[in-house]
Chain A
Amino acid sequence: KAGVTQTPRYLIKTRGQQVTLSCSPISGHRSVSWYQQTPGQGLQFLFEYFSETQRNKGNFPGRFSGRQFSNSRSEMNVSTLELGDSALYLCASSLALAGGETQYFGPGTRLLVL
């Protein structure tokens, strides 16, 4: 099976712009979660989608949003970018049959905000 894929892999934006990141889960996986990884804060949960519905949301401002499509692919959007949004954004998918299952991570999208 192909692993989790994320596009683009690298992105440079300027403050005030918006950005959309994409994640394709492993075939058959229904849950997609997003994480932000920074040197200072480590890995922080952004949100989780299951069957096109947001099930969990982390402690991030409303500028961070996401959605999931019927084929389980997911996108996350960050509006009005700030310098502090520079980070590695990881997507993870799981079967989500019973909760607390193994998460399979993508390679990440590295976002640099100038």
Chain B
Amino acid sequence: QVQVQESGPGLVKPSQTLSLTCSVSGFSIGSGDYYWAWIRHHPGEGLDWIGYISYRGRTYYNPSLKSRVSISIDTSKNQVSLNLRSVTAADTAVYYCARPGRLGELSLTIWGQGTLVTVSS
């Protein structure tokens, strides 16, 4: 059973970099051509797609975040990472890592429990 778990600091200061890790269990990231996604949910608002990365490291980002975001993959650690630079209070959200359930699909079946990141001094 594939599981993903987000981890990282719960509090980040404005202008700093938010860094999160998604640890994958029950599946070897390097073994299949799945895309991995980062999604965020602002408190009281809707869902916000951040970006995708393939197991080969090809990335696609939300245009509104593209100048500040990078997603990377480490097959040796079986992890996917998110970095978001120059954060502001508007980046306060629950951040989710997710994966499709089917090859060739980008609809997201497998989700982590999410991790709340607050941007505040």
A and B interact physically: no
**Chain B interface residues toward A at CB < 8 A:** none
